[in-house]
């Protein structure tokens, strides 16, 4: 089963690197990571460029609107997974988070 991980962010470029790295290091491998960026600037996009190049699992979406619930609803609508998982851009997930 494919999992879609939704990560809505707003001006969290100082924290998002740790969150993305922890998700990419998960033991469960069949997932996509949708970074739903509502930031006012491009700092978050700049930080995650390396992950966009390293992994086809990471997808970056710059949203023209604000609001976490709106961002997550948008993510659900475009996700390709059978299961939706949600975390925040300042969280570090366990290596077996998706597996569990």
DSSP H or E segment with residue 33: strand 31-37
Left if phi > 0, otherwise alpha if psi is -120 to 50, otherwise beta: which for 56? alpha
pTM of the full predicted structure?
A: 0.95
Confidence of residue 13 (pLDDT cuts 50, 70, 90): confident
> Inter-axis angle of helices 16-24 and 43-54, to 10 degrees?
20
Cβ count near 62 (within 10 Å): 12
Question: Model confidence over 14-59: pLDDT tens digits?
Answer: 899 999 999 999 999 999 999 999 999 999 999 999 999 999 999 9
The encoded tokens of residue 81 equal 């997974």
């Amino acid at each position: 089963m494919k999992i879609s991980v939704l990560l809505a962010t707003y001006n969290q470029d100082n924290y998002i690197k740790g969150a993305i790295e922890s998700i990419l290091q998960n033991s469960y491998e069949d997932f996509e990571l949708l970074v739903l960026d509502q930031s006012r600037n491009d700092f978050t996009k700049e930080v995650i460029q390396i992950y966009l190049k390293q992994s086809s699992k990471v997808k970056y979406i710059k949203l023209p609107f604000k609001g976490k619930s709106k961002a997550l609803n948008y993510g659900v609508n475009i996700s390709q997974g059978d299961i939706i998982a949600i975390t925040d851009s300042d969280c570090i997930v366990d290596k077996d988070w998706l597996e569990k």
